[in-house]
Chain A
Amino acid sequence: MAHSRREFLKTTSAAAAAIGLAACGAAQRPLEQAPTPAPKPENNSAGNSGSVGDPTFRDLALLALDAAKSSGASYADVRISRNRNQRVFTREHRVQGITDRETFGFGVRVLVDGAWGFAASRELTRDEVPRVAKQAVAQARANRASLVRPVVLAPVTPVANGSWRSPAKTDPFDIPIEDKVALLLAANESALAVKGARFVNSAMFFLKEEKTLATTDGTYAVQTIFRSQPSVNVTAVASDFSDFQSRSSTDIQPMGRGYEHVVDADLVKNAARWAEEAVQKLSARSVDVGRYDLVLHPSHLWLTIHESIAHPTELDRAMGFEANYAGTSFVSPPEKMLGSFRYGPEFMNIQGDRKQEGSLSACGWDDEGVEPDEFLIIKNGVVNDYQTTREQAPWLSWWYEKQGKEARSHGCSYAQSWADVQFQRMPNVSLLPGEKEIGWDDIIADTERGIAIVGDGSFSIDQQRYNAQFGGQLFYEIRNGKLAGMLKDVAYQMRTPDFWNSMDMIGGKSSYMLGGAFNDGKGQPSQSNAVSHGCVPSRFRQVNVINTGRKA
């Protein structure tokens, strides 16, 4: 949710701004990264200290688990991660920066008498591995002093030799840097050719993480994860400096794909359109406050789903564990919500998964060795389940028993890096399409008076996820089933259950689209999670719209 102060201080604006908004939590420790064995000069790593599949990893991982067990741990897991990222960012005719980062290290998590401990180091050596494992055990013993509810883990089916890779067709680190630079500068030229477009920032971000997980349950899994995001932001300034307006490339969302995602984004052609839209915003009419029917595009609605459905159905929040920062949840307590709380209309179904092709949270196994499943969080409009880890699933065993199911984790354990402890993070949380095959144009045609909103913009929601306010990129007045000109200074305010219960039309399968963010923030220290949200265009009745324009 927030851009991190630390990141802010390090990069001072331009770089961070060009990379895009954080969708949800907060301080993002900058990801620091690494490569693989080297097919091309572009893709070589900082030496031969090992990579996915390195046989020495297995020995060292087992060494960590043995050290933890012999020191008294009842359970332990070790994650070894090599993480590389690359950023290229530009403004107008110049490249502002090209950065290539890699980080390598390991973290050991242990359970001692029902208390957690975690320690991490960048030195994967035969001396350091057992030292870190013992440090984690000693820390768990210290933590045990405060114990009132020992941790119990749900069962898991171990995978002895797991292997998984993102469905990336082209490794972004194989593409020469000059091609990336040329594409971004061409997109900038295309934007600046539009009269009135004064400034343009563009950027590419790529991540490749190779991680190895070993647990005392017998899991050993290696995974290679890719993420890619191209982005453009165009600013138009009024000739008398009385106004400025920006348009971000929110129709291009970050994906768990390779360089093909950048190619498919067609930045040069689209940049001209984004520039035209930024200029149009200068002369858009300032909105009249009031209640409107809202038609929300998937490039906008994904963020509303993220904030008002995905966060409040995290089980740790519902149980009060995140009260000090991310907050608790109005979907609480679970025993009063599961099977009875009406979140929205009968045709509203919300799915959690880490499987959708190209989605940001897709993986083979989560960070404690659970193979994620598909599960309905909201079923026919009613709360049906929560997002869980192995520690949390047993908290709902009464609910699962009622349905003749064993309490099993949904595979929502994740850590942003080797140096951070894993905890419950949201999977992809998506609004499933309606049965009727209708789309954006059909919903607008059916709307008498309303506002259509495209793209995600400003966002804010309270700590229990009741009261939210969202802006957007583009706002169009709808009159008698037609778009009737552009509006500006638009934001809508909502109370979550009222808002979702006002939904009366949703698109069909062919209008489904994945949005998402790299930097969903939660936890202390705040960790970034990458997550996608699939959805369809949808209509909401009589939503409160405010005007955000004030004169200085």
Chain B
Amino acid sequence: MRRVRSLLAGAAPISRSDAEAIAKRALSFSTADEARVTIDGAVRGNTRFAVNQVSTAGDDSDTTITVNSSFGKRSASATTNKLDDEGLRWVVETSERLAKLAPEDPEAMPELGPQQYAEAKGWSDSTAALDAAGRVAAVRSITDPARAAGMNATGYLEANSEARAVATSKGLFAYGRATAVSMTTTVRTAEATGSGWAGAAHSDWSRIAPAALGSRAIEKARLSDRPAAIEPGRYTVILEPTAVGNLVQLVAFALNARGADEGRSFFTKPGGGNKIGMKVVDERVTLVSDPLDPDAAAMTFAGDGLPVKRTVWIENGMVKNLAYDRYWAEKQGKEPTPLIGSLRMSGGDQSVEEMIASTQRGILVTRFWYIRPVDPRTILYTGLTRDGTFLIENGKITRAVKNLRFNESPIFMLNNLEAMGEPVRVSASEDGSPGFAIVVPPIKTRDFTFTSLSDAI
């Protein structure tokens, strides 16, 4: 399986035929009633830059195999990255030994047999081919203009090629591969009195324009210099797509049907049951996961090998589906519905400029940060604005303002909706990794709750 590689290029992630051969080999060692093998291969490259130069970088590749073994209703799993016979025997035997000692699980579900899958869409050769030298060239297209402007650019570029295979002792085999790349930068003024951010993520590197990200962040840093204090309180806000993504993905994390049915979720219906069929947000809002979405592609199978289909979670403001694992689906008489790392929100036809022009007094937000749950009953989170927060007065941006802490729920935010723009793919992870593949519009919403002011720049 070794390939000849250039010094800078990583290997490709494990191929379908290699994955199938290893899965078969591992299953041949199995003595369990049922077994499932998961193989994850990744070739990862990253380059960090700080204060206008590359700080560190890394290239690594790894392939792991996980075996889940079941004896009746007893099961356990083991994982290794040693893929020779010795490693495969160890991982099979360890999972079997642990499984035999596990108590019976009343919720155990049988492994699946062969399934049909759509062909995955998330692979891009341009991302797979991006090597350390290519990454440095992209970095310099941001740091050189930043230095020329007398500012400091810091940022991150990560490009990954990944492959995943699932095989069961009942004949299921699924294989998919995907690439993911993200580039983000924070530019600060020389005296650190202003800070601006720009970022992008996609499966396809050719869809990301590093120099444009750099000039956007430089411009925002300039505009955000020496922000003024304002009173915290409820404001009309215009959220750029990244800020919308930061908050809307929190709804996806709460879509679990079981938690709702058990009475411990926002999606619990008062008096019992869940909110499927109830209107929870503005009727212009629709949330969909589609593994074949060209801008938010995902694997076409779930961890247990179940095919993943397009799922509408919220349609015209009403809860249409919640996520069901196979056990809870069977118990409730529902279709199993996995949650995947892909989400698209509906949009509208207003540009951010038009939203600003129609706003008497409001705040424009570039992105949010340190977003943490406060109250799961309302999906209430706290966090702060960061790297580009501006006051709007009488239809114009009038000045930079200090960052603000919010205590707010994306549910309230999507109920108070005034306008939406065109949905775009964003980098909505706080850490700059490609993260959840999310496509969202800029929005304008009223009564957004800011509870305190921050001196941070």
Contacts and interface: CB of A to CB of B under 8 A. Distances in A.
B62 interface: yes
A423 interface: yes
Contact of B432 (A101, A117, A235, A524): A524
Interface stretch (A3-11, A208-216, A259-267, A445-453): A3-11
B377 interface: yes
* Most central of A94, A316, A491 by chain B CB within 10 Å: A94
Given A95-B105, A148-B53, A419 B60 contact: yes
A143 B98 contact: no
B430 A458 contact: no
Given A94-B105, A465-B456, A459 B431 contact: no
Contacts, number: 342
A29 to B, nearest CB: 9
Interface residues of A, number: 115
A237 interface: yes
B237 to A, nearest CB: 17
A100 B60 contact: no
A105 interface: yes
A211 B452 CA distance: 45
Contact of B403 (A13, A462, A465): A462
Contacts of B333: none
A336 interface: no
Given A103-B81, A148-B52, A198-B263, A118 B102 contact: no
B64 interface: yes
B433 A526 contact: yes
A97 interface: yes
B77 A100 contact: yes
A185 interface: yes
A96 B68 CA distance: 13
A139 B59 contact: yes
A484 interface: no
Contact of B156 (A6, A8, A324, A461): A324
B340 interface: yes
A319 B76 CA distance: 47
A118 to B, nearest CB: 5
Contacts of A70: none
Interface stretch (A375-383, A427-435, A544-552): A544-552
Interface string B41-77: 0001011111111111111111110100000000111
A299 B353 CA distance: 48
Interface in A508-535: 521, 523-526
B102 A95 contact: yes
Given A462-B386, A467-B454, A552 B411 contact: yes
A320 B56 contact: no
Interface in A318-339: 319-325, 327-328, 330, 332
B155 interface: yes
Given A139-B8, A459-B372, A552-B377, A525 B46 contact: yes
A46 interface: yes
Given A320-B154, A320-B192, A462-B384, A100 B374 contact: no
Interface in A446-499: 458-467, 469, 471, 489, 491, 493, 495
Interface stretch (B168-176, B265-273, B358-366): B265-273
A251 to B, nearest CB: 21
B336 interface: no
A116 interface: yes
B216 to A, nearest CB: 14
B224 interface: no
Contacts of A48: 86
Nearest to B48: A524
Interface string A294-332: 000000000000000000000010011111110110101
Interface stretch (B19-27, B89-97, B112-120, B344-352): B89-97
B141 to A, nearest CB: 11
Interface in B155-169: 155-156, 158
A510 to B, nearest CB: 33
A291 interface: no
B303 interface: yes
Contacts of A145: 54, 136, 140
B87 A142 contact: no
B338 to A, nearest CB: 8
A462 B383 CA distance: 8
A138 interface: yes
Nearest to B386: A463
B430 to A, nearest CB: 6
Contacts of B369: 327, 462-463
A36 interface: no
Contacts of A275: none
A185 B339 CA distance: 29
Contacts of B87: 46-47
Interface stretch (A158-166, A239-247, A360-368): A239-247
A94 B380 contact: no
B101 A462 contact: no
Contacts of A464: 454-457
A224 B79 CA distance: 20
B236 interface: no
Nearest to A461: B370
Contact of B60 (A107, A117, A138, A521): A107
B263 A241 contact: yes
Given A94-B107, A469-B405, 13 more contacts: A2-B372, A94-B106, A100-B94, A102-B80, A105-B60, A138-B132, A324-B184, A325-B430, A460-B383, A464-B454, A471-B374, A491-B382, A546-B407
15 contacts: A1-B370, A9-B339, A26-B431, A102-B82, A121-B61, A138-B132, A176-B101, A199-B262, A421-B56, A421-B57, A462-B369, A464-B456, A466-B456, A491-B382, A552-B411
Please name the 6 residue pairs, one residue from A and one from B, whose CB atoms are nearest each other, closest first. Answer: A464-B456, A467-B454, A47-B86, A26-B431, A120-B60, A462-B456
Interface of A: 1-2, 5-6, 8-10, 12-13, 25-27, 32-34, 41, 44-49, 93-105, 107, 115-122, 131, 134-136, 138-139, 142-143, 145-149, 176-178, 181, 185, 198-199, 235, 237, 240-244, 316, 319-325, 327-328, 330, 332, 419-421, 423, 458-467, 469, 471, 489, 491, 493, 495, 521, 523-526, 544, 546, 548-552
